[in-house]
Chain A
């Protein structure tokens, strides 16, 4: 990661702050803007799940099992007569929550390890980067299956595992920024004046790393949502009766459901796909906005 070079700017562009110019570049990325709107709607739907749904996600109705969409149940009901729309909306809370929590963990660990690695150098740097290699070479999904096998399915364990396996991307990035920033005169001046590593990280490294880290963090959210859905689909993530987009699809593995009850599997599948796509497109747009030279 290199520091953005001062570009030759048109006179009117020169008057704008870097943040505003980044925003303008983001707004030019049409898919990213559309995605931001879609994601906003999904988040709002999850937040106001109770108000929108009109049904409780866990109330069963054994007289109306696997009923098709109707005026009362817009997306029909599942095998125990629970309202699919309500479950879909509440599942959104779980998926988005797991995604954001895991990505946040990855960013915090990555920033701390990466900046210390870059500042201290030597064996700390060597060990940390080796460790990053090891974590990156393991397929996180498979490791999560093994963890679920030994300690049992747990959402907390899942968040920690996703976070632990995703910190290296952020760690390497922050290390690169640290190495570049470390040589800047203002940082050397701060060091000469007696600034410690923690002060340097807070005042100089974090602000410099924030734009590229926001891109990595966004992509980490997308990946975490996908991993959660996959684990729950395999029956190793969010456990029933709690709803998650992944575990709603688990019941759809029979040919009967696939062929005759699309309301049971299409909505949760589309929800994961739309959310992850939207977050990834936003990440793509952010990358263009933050680093204009990136193609």
Chain B
């Protein structure tokens, strides 16, 4: 098991470094003077040509690309992503203050996805090829097919315009912050994100359950007098949980993709909204910092999936 994990870890880290090379290449391809991306603007404005040349030397921009890459990477790994080209703030703090809201939205969204996907997937598997199953298929196809931003607009029309019970923008009301207020702001974006991401999970739960229900041990358990409920709860559900959990871990980055759109519609102050508005403002250093965070997220989720996979599958462990 240890050897497998270490091998996967090495592959994942190798892939991560390749991705940082691509991102570094993007840094170079990005228009604009790299000095402006790395030096706080007040210093830059005060500087003369000699100062910039000295700074260029100090930052190692006159050195070979490989050396520059190393400097950039070690800096980034220490949390130094440079400075925003628009407002001069450090990218680390800009992204840092957006991190919490995005995690809040992604986490609640994931939870709601599972709350939708598990019951539907299990019932669809148990009542295979019945109306319930077809209805579940239609729901999951709908969640995959209807763009989240369109559902969001409809939800805003219903819950903010027609029946003004829920707010349609922001994370909280600055004039009256409270837990209830925060929850009210969370409901629409989180439910829509949860629904939009639930389709693939539901199909996965369903097919995983169907596979397990066809297994020999189910027949054995039933022959020994176990009720359907007992078989499902004690045996098949547990076993089908294994591949589902691995799938959820591997798909964490997809949650971020959904969050980018939802944040934009609901003016949710998260990283996705920052990234989209940075694209509009040509704020390359922020975009590149965002790219690096995605790469880290992908690395973590793929490692998590590997570990889960090893923990639950003895065949991998023994190899």
Query: 1/0 per position for A262-295, CB-CB distance to B under 8 A?
Result: 1001000100110011001100100000000001
A273 to B148, CA, bound (A): 10
**A122 contacts the other chain (Cβ, under 8 Å)?**
no
Is there a chain B Cβ closer than 8 Å to A151's Cβ? yes
Is B290 in contact with chain A by the CB < 8 A criterion?
Answer: yes
Please determine whether B29 and A150 come into contact, CB atoms closer than 8 angstroms: yes
Residue numbers in A under 8 Å from B138 (CB-CB): 31
Stretch of B108-116, B215-223, B236-244, B272-280 at the chain-chain interface: B272-280
Check if B92 is an interface residue, CB within 8 A of chain A: no
Q: Which of A114-163 contact B (CB under 8 A)?
A: 130, 133-134, 137-143, 145-146, 148-151
Shortest distance from the beta carbon of A279 to any chain B beta carbon, whole Å = 8
- B260 and A149 contacting across the interface, CB-CB below 8 Å: no
Nearest Cβ on chain A to B184's Cβ, whole angstroms: 17
Chain A's interface size range is: 35 or more
How would you classify the secondary structure of chain A's contact residues: helix, strand, loop or mixed? helix
A55 to B141, CA, bound (A): 35
Return chain A residues, CB-CB under 8 Å to B287: 146, 149-150
B147 touches A229 (CB 8 A): yes
Q: A141-B260, A269-B153, A280-B145 given as contacts; is B302 within 8 A of A234 (CB)?
A: no
In the assembled complex, the Cα of A139 lies from the Cα of B314 at a distance in Å of: 30
Q: Does B53 contact A (CB under 8 A)?
A: no
Query: A137 vs B265: C-alpha distance in the bound complex, in angstroms?
Result: 25
- B291 proximal to A (CB < 8 A): yes
* B156 within 8 Å of A (CB atoms): yes
Q: Give B281's nearest chain A residue, CB to CB.
A: A149
Q: Residues 9-29 of chain A: 1 if any B CB is under 8 Å from the residue's CB, otherwise 0? A: 000000000000000000000
A258 to B168, CA, bound (A): 12
Choose the segment among B70-78, B227-235, B251-259 that binds chain A (4+ C-beta atoms closer than 8 Å).
Answer: B251-259
Collect the chain B residues with CB atoms within 8 Å of residue A295's CB.
128-129, 210
Least Cβ–Cβ distance between B299 and chain A, in angstroms: 9
For A252, the chain B residues whose CB sits under 8 A away are 153
B residues less than 8 Å from A145 (CB atoms): 260, 275-276, 279
Give the residues in chain B near A234, CB-CB below 8 Å: 260-261, 264, 276
- Tell me the bound Cα distance from A235 to B138 in angstroms: 30
In the bound complex, do residue B146 and residue A142 qualify as a contact, i.e. CB atoms below 8 Å apart?
no
A235: B residues at CB distance < 8 A? 276, 280
Given the complex of chains A and B, what is the CA–CA distance between A249 and B29 in angstroms? 32
Contact at A255–B279, with CB atoms within 8 Å?
no
Complex Cα distance, B301 from A134, in Å, reads: 12
| Least CB separation from B150: chain A residue | A269
A236 at the interface (CB under 8 A from B): yes
Contact among B149, B150, B161, B257 for A142, CB-based, below 8 A: B257
**B11 lies within 8 A of chain A by Cβ:** yes
A249 and B253 in contact (CB under 8 A), knowing A141-B260, A150-B30? no
B257/A280 in contact, CB under 8 A = no
Q: How far is the CA of A142 from the CA of B154 in the complex (A)?
A: 24
Which residues of chain A have C-beta atoms less than 8 A from B161's C-beta? 255, 258-259
Q: Mark B41-54, 1 if CB is under 8 A from A, else 0.
A: 00000000000000
Q: Are the CB atoms of B26 and A137 closer together than 8 Å?
A: no
- For A273, the chain B residues whose CB sits under 8 A away are 145-147, 150
Q: Please give, as numbers and ranges, the residues of chain B lying within 8 Å of A134 by CB-CB distance.
A: 15, 19
A230 within 8 A of B: yes
Interface residue? B160 (CB, 8 A): yes
Bound Cα distance A130, B7 (Å): 13
Q: With a CB–CB cut-off of 8 A, which chain A residues contact B145?
A: 222, 226, 273, 276-277, 280
Enumerate chain B interface residues (CB-CB to A < 8 A): 11, 15, 19, 26, 29-30, 128-129, 137-138, 141-142, 144-150, 153-154, 156-157, 160-161, 168, 210, 250, 253-254, 256-257, 260-261, 264-265, 272, 275-276, 278-280, 282, 284, 287-288, 290-291, 294, 298, 301-302
Using A146-B287, A273-B145 as known contacts, list a sample of 4 further A-B pairs with CB atoms less than 8 Å apart, ordered by residue number in A: A138-B294, A143-B294, A146-B290, A149-B278
Cross-chain pairs A/B with CB under 8 angstroms, 13 sampled: A137-B302, A139-B294, A146-B288, A146-B291, A148-B279, A229-B147, A234-B260, A252-B153, A255-B160, A272-B147, A273-B145, A280-B145, A281-B141
Contact surface of A with B, Cβ cutoff 8 Å = 31, 130, 133-134, 137-143, 145-146, 148-151, 222, 226, 229-230, 233-236, 246, 249, 252-253, 255, 258-259, 262, 265, 269, 272-273, 276-277, 280-281, 284, 295
7 nearest A-B pairs in the assembled complex, by CB-CB distance: A139-B257, A269-B150, A149-B287, A149-B279, A141-B257, A259-B161, A276-B145
